[in-house]
Structure formats: structure tokens, C-alpha cells
Amino acid sequence: MAFFEGLKMTGGYGTGPDIINSCSVDVNRGEIVSILGPNGAGKSTAMKALLGLINLKSGAVVIDGKDITKLSPQDRVRQGISFVPQTKNVFAGMTVEENLEMGAYLRDDNYQDVIEEIYELFPILREKRNQLVGELSGGQRQQVALGRALMIKPSVLMLDEPTAGVSPIVMDELFDHIIKVKRTNVAILMVEQNAKQALNISDRGYVLVTGENKYAGTGKELLNDPRVRSSFLGG
């Protein structure tokens, strides 16, 4: 049994139609798993379901053997599940250090050493610690967003299109950072548009189509699967 699992999740927004149908994903600590698929396949929705932002009609979410299907998003944060949204993922009007402090809001202990660890991981943030995040570049902001999410020392980190809207160079840099995070024994689950690059750094991947699992396998397998290649990776 995997560390963090979504089992046969079915649900949608409000009383609308189901966006995901019996969709299952799982991820272990120290592993990067990507969720891929065409537009409207329900990738982000699957992630929101794991986070508790939408209510499931059926299925379950389990972390470390514990059923958390009924927990609110805030309570899931307490269970060590951290999330970086695609947009608006920083507090733009606050300094880098304040962003990190807010990430540690649920921690009552002294989190100064965690901030130090984040600065080790993202040295540029130490340099800019007293600057407003709204004044940083796109790549630096994403680092702040990652840093904020890492402040609770999560066991699961979920990323919604971390490289959306950044330049190719910054994208490579970000993927390097994500690999660094993975080495700290965090389970990473991400939704990505840049399928090729994402699969390159992923241990495993899922391809969703119309809210259902279509293909699954290791990064390499998916990259080499002709059906996946022709439909999502552009040949």
C-alpha cells in the first residue's frame, strides 16, 4: 500500500456533473509522480479532490494508512499535506521571510531552523529575504511558493503546474529544485502541462482522460509508449 493514495475517487464541483470517475493515484515518499492528460481531463480536479477542496461522491483518500476523506483542507494540512496552487501561490504583499513564516503558521515550535533549511535549498531567497514577493521574478516567486509549502515539513507535496508561465531555463531550474525536495524524502505529486520534461524527472506517471485513469507506468515507460506519445507528447 502506497504512502498517500486516492482510491477510485468520483466527484465534481458542487452539484455539477462528475469531473473525475473512479480515478486512482498513489505516491510514495521520495517519489515524484506526475498526473498528465489533455485539457479538461480532470487533472487539477483530481488534485483538488486529494486536498479536500471538492467533495467526493465515492472513493477515499488515505495517508499512511489513515482515511482522511472526511477532513477539511486545513485539517489535511495538519496531516502533512502541502499544496502549491498554480496561480496566486504567494503572499505578494509580504516579504519572502513573512511568506515562509505563514507557511509555518500551524507550527508552534521554533521554526527558525526550518527557514534556514529552506534558505539552504533556495539560496536566492536568503538574499531576498526582506524583499516583497510581488517584486520578485517569476522563477523566484515559484521558489517562494515551494518554500512556503515546505515550511510545515510536509510528507506529501502537491504541485499544480509548477512551471506554468515560466521560461524554459527557469523551468529546468525549477525541476532541479523539485528533485532536491524529493531527496528530502517527500512524496511529490504534480500536475504538469510540459509532459515530456515532467516525465523525465518523474518516477511514475498517470495519464487521465475524461476523468479516468487511461495509462499508468514509470516515467520512461510512458515516454516510450507510442499511444501516449502520439496523443500527448506530440509524436
**Footprint of another protein (CB under 8 A):** 73-74, 77-78, 83, 85, 88-94, 98, 101-103, 105-106, 148, 152
Q: How far is the CB of 117 from another protein (least distance, A)?
A: 18
Nearer to another protein, 91 or 232 (CB): 91
CA 43 to chain centre: 11
Q: How far is the CB of 144 from another protein (least distance, A)?
A: 11
Q: How far is the CB of 64 from another protein (least distance, A)?
A: 19
Nearer to another protein, 83 or 122 (CB): 83
CA distance 183 to 168: 23
Q: How far is the CB of 142 from another protein (least distance, A)?
A: 14
CA distance 194 to 147: 22
> Which amino acid is present at 227?
R
Nearer to another protein, 102 or 179 (CB): 102
Nearer to another protein, 188 or 199 (CB): 188
Nearer to another protein, 15 or 74 (CB): 74
Nearer to another protein, 77 or 228 (CB): 77
Q: How far is the CB of 213 from another protein (least distance, A)?
A: 26
Nearer to another protein, 6 or 205 (CB): 6
In three-state form (DSSP H/G/I as H, E/B as E, the rest C), the secondary structure along the chain is CCCEEEEEEEECCCCCCCCEEEEEEEECCCCEEEEECCCCCCHHHHHHHHHCCCCEEEEEEEECCEECCCCCHHHHHHCCEEEECCCCCCCCCCEHHHHHHHHCCCCCCCCHHHHHHHHHHCHHHHHCCCCEHHHCCHHHHHHHHHHHHHCCCCCEEEEECCCCCCCHHHHHHHHHHHHHHHHCCCEEEEECCCHHHHHHHCCEEEEEECCEEEEEEEHHHHHHCHHHHHHHCCC
Q: How far is the CB of 88 from another protein (least distance, A)?
A: 6
Q: How far is the CB of 77 from another protein (least distance, A)?
A: 5
